[in-house]
Structure 1
């Protein structure tokens, strides 16, 4: 069987040796032609001192930017104490971080499972849903992305990721995102759960109709299936609220977090209601490194920054920036959408070429969907930096061939 190949039509602008610095690494990623040695705030620096405005933040994992003082200090202190501690033993920092997370969730009495990535959190969520209900079928959104391990890949929609593994995946129906009626029609007697991103990230920063998440909650309750909300990209303050579930007043049965929750240290969280947790036997899902004290310290440091005042500022800054982006006078700009600092710019024409030219301008962004430039700035970005990015995008769109 031929391997999956994902290629860019033209090479990325090079500075330094890029991924050639690591010849032993399998070439599973596009080579963007850059190699970074240092980061500070919203910037990354190459070996020769070139500075780039990082508005992709490692696909959202560097939530507070690079070398944030609160995160750096917490990690340094924890490194001198203990780094790894198996879940069969107690950990003071893990206990404090667990309570701090639960206190932020719209799920009274929730319990959490610590993991090491968002994809792992989805794997646990799917397993927990199967165990709690005794059923195996799932309903997910067309255009949705939840990861690439077997369970997560099952509920991910894109054929380019699924094609090589047909026959290995869970039974899933993918239905139009934003349509409650389509979800209702897809639920069967064997449906364990409906899984949804509050805003689709990889799918193109697609914001559903107002009230969609709440309507799904009502539907799942009426049809007696679980609601799994994937907040891996939207959560931890990215949209100006700690979770979008909170904004919508929705209590999921299972909620997943990850990305930047630990300030850049790998982490995944699967939170469940008491009704789900009481059905989970010991050993149904564990992780050697899940809940390690280093990640827990990163979580505590990150949460200390994400105050209500800070998150309100994120929401305001995002609103202002989206308005500024939408004011760009270019036929190449079709639409600006998103929430908080999760922003998508829909481009008419060669989106990938626009991304490469943005990189030449010193601004890092990533693709989403078929025609979207995705911006996931660090939450510590300021208005001047975003203004610089807007001006760069304006120049890039103006330079694209008509």
Structure 2
């Protein structure tokens, strides 16, 4: 297929995107998008912005669940990938080693001088799978400890340490030996580790589902407990890493040096999937301990030249454009603005986050009129209120955002790290306007709520 034919094909079939997905892919996802009015038919993306069929501009605070930290179609990444394609490199020889993979590993380890080795994978979930496997191989133990409400991926090993039943239920037996403990609960963690049968404790430094920030001593003391009981400490920085929280790694906020660090999402540059497990040499050498075990774990496409080049280009952009510093600066501004809203609006319960990973949690109001409407929504479907915020944000203010998890009362902001003061002003006035509308009963927001309740009740009746 030529570039011209591809452009023609896209032009001819773009109007069929939802019917194609409904017939051949995930029909339920199409129904969700159409029900909440998110079927916008975006035509192009540039930086932090999306553009629809009418060329209207939207500010993307979802960034592909964190993939587009550099924004969409960053010219440095795009030009680097074109250069790789034009170079006719001997890609994936397999019985050879990749120069680009070696360089990317070297670059990543400069950010974590306490770690020594890198294993590359194709995704975040695959990185989790490798880390769990390495931990068991290195310790000779089977046990794995994870936190409630955690999210580490949806493949079977990752699913076994996933703290949300909505993803786990209905898929049969998962990995044996997995123990859930509450996030931020050191006593529960020590109780789980005390048997000295646990290979690893895997934790998100800031939990993505709900943007839950740990107590100041939690990660540091958790690491000390892992050291005490011989358990490997795995930091899942797949969403929090690469500058998202205003530090290169979120663990840096608390001075923690994990035994393994997992990266993915942003490392792709938004183009080529890639994941990485950064680990200590002692762990790596116990897995790859003899020449006949040199291929005891691997992944066919993991060190492909396009992925490695995308990772290198991403690191260059992060450094050259000072995106870690920008995330810290823009995040401080937005969090302060949201904290002001929490003081003015009774529906805003709490603001959490670091850098450009921000959670805005809503809670039951005090006033009687609002409380009655809130309770109606909660009875129909827990967490439904947040849709009264995200839907008008998109429809009226052209801001794309998301609820932070199933049945959650938290809206999560995960914008590209390139956003500027103008974008922050757009975010602040839009959220302020929508939240203010939500405090007017009756009003347009609560009329929308009535419609959502009716839809939820019809869906519940259909399932019954």
TM-score (norm 2): 0.79
1:209-358 to structure 2, matched below 5 A, reads 209-264=215-270, 265-281=272-288, 282-307=294-319, 309-328=322-341, 329-348=344-363, 349=374, 350-358=385-393
* C-alpha distance in structure 1 between counterparts of 2:177 and 2:40, whole Å: 40
Question: Structure 1 residue 246: deviation in Å?
Answer: 3.0
Structure 1 unaligned residues grouped into runs of 5+: 1-14
Question: Greater CA deviation, 168-177 or 193-202?
Answer: 168-177
* Partner SS, residue 279 of structure 1: helix
Tell me whether 1:381 sits opposite 2:419 in the alignment. yes
Question: Structure 1 residue 295: deviation in Å?
Answer: 1.1
* Partner SS, residue 346 of structure 1: strand
Tell me whether 1:51 sits opposite 2:57 in the alignment. yes
**For the structure 1 residues 89 and 43, does the alpha-carbon distance in structure 2 shift closer, same or farther, using more than 3 Å as the test?**
same
Question: Structure 1 residue 49: deviation in Å?
Answer: 1.3
Question: Structure 1 residue 93: deviation in Å?
Answer: 2.0
**For the structure 1 residues 191 and 82, does the alpha-carbon distance in structure 2 shift closer, same or farther, using more than 3 Å as the test?**
farther
Q: Which has the larger radius of gyration?
A: 2
Answer whether contact 1:16 1:33 (CA < 8 A) is retained: no
Residue matched to 2:404: 368
Question: Greater CA deviation, 132-141 or 280-289?
Answer: 280-289
Match of 1:94 among 101, 115, 125: 101
Over the residues paired in the alignment, what is the CA RMSD in angstroms?
A: 1.9
* Partner SS, residue 306 of structure 1: helix
* C-alpha distance in structure 1 between counterparts of 2:143 and 2:41, whole Å: 43
Residue matched to 1:69: 75
Greater helix share, structure number: 2
* C-alpha distance in structure 1 between counterparts of 2:88 and 2:188, whole Å: 49
**For the structure 1 residues 225 and 356, does the alpha-carbon distance in structure 2 shift closer, same or farther, using more than 3 Å as the test?**
same
Answer whether contact 2:142 2:197 (CA < 8 A) is retained: yes
Answer whether contact 1:87 1:291 (CA < 8 A) is retained: no
Residue matched to 1:162: 168
Answer whether contact 1:106 1:250 (CA < 8 A) is retained: no
* C-alpha distance in structure 2 between counterparts of 1:28 and 1:219, whole Å: 44
User: How far does the alpha carbon of each residue in 1:253-295 deviate from its partner, in whole angstroms, 9 at most, with x for none?
Assistant: 1111011112112111111101101111322321111021111
* C-alpha distance in structure 1 between counterparts of 2:351 and 2:152, whole Å: 23
Answer whether contact 2:59 2:398 (CA < 8 A) is retained: yes
Answer whether contact 2:157 2:174 (CA < 8 A) is retained: no
User: How far does the alpha carbon of each residue in 1:148-203 deviate from its partner, in whole angstroms, 9 at most, with x for none?
Assistant: 1000001011011111124233321111101111100112332111111000002x
Question: Structure 1 residue 215: deviation in Å?
Answer: 0.9
* C-alpha distance in structure 1 between counterparts of 2:412 and 2:154, whole Å: 20
* C-alpha distance in structure 1 between counterparts of 2:93 and 2:243, whole Å: 29
* C-alpha distance in structure 2 between counterparts of 1:239 and 1:318, whole Å: 8
* C-alpha distance in structure 2 between counterparts of 1:135 and 1:75, whole Å: 41
Answer whether contact 1:86 1:288 (CA < 8 A) is retained: no
* Partner SS, residue 227 of structure 1: strand
* Partner SS, residue 34 of structure 1: coil
Question: Greater CA deviation, 56-65 or 357-366?
Answer: 357-366
Question: Structure 1 residue 79: deviation in Å?
Answer: 2.0
TM-score (norm 1): 0.91
* C-alpha distance in structure 2 between counterparts of 1:78 and 1:28, whole Å: 38
Question: Structure 1 residue 213: deviation in Å?
Answer: 1.3
* C-alpha distance in structure 1 between counterparts of 2:231 and 2:211, whole Å: 27
**For the structure 1 residues 242 and 82, does the alpha-carbon distance in structure 2 shift closer, same or farther, using more than 3 Å as the test?**
farther
**For the structure 1 residues 364 and 146, does the alpha-carbon distance in structure 2 shift closer, same or farther, using more than 3 Å as the test?**
same
* C-alpha distance in structure 1 between counterparts of 2:212 and 2:126, whole Å: 23
Question: Structure 1 residue 128: deviation in Å?
Answer: 0.6
* C-alpha distance in structure 2 between counterparts of 1:86 and 1:228, whole Å: 31
Question: Greater CA deviation, 82-91 or 185-194?
Answer: 82-91
Match of 2:158 among 145, 152, 158: 152
Tell me whether 1:20 sits opposite 2:19 in the alignment. yes
**For the structure 1 residues 55 and 99, does the alpha-carbon distance in structure 2 shift closer, same or farther, using more than 3 Å as the test?**
same
Structure 2 unaligned residues grouped into runs of 5+: 1-13, 289-293, 364-373, 375-384, 442-464
Answer whether contact 2:196 2:230 (CA < 8 A) is retained: no
Tell me whether 1:391 sits opposite 2:429 in the alignment. yes
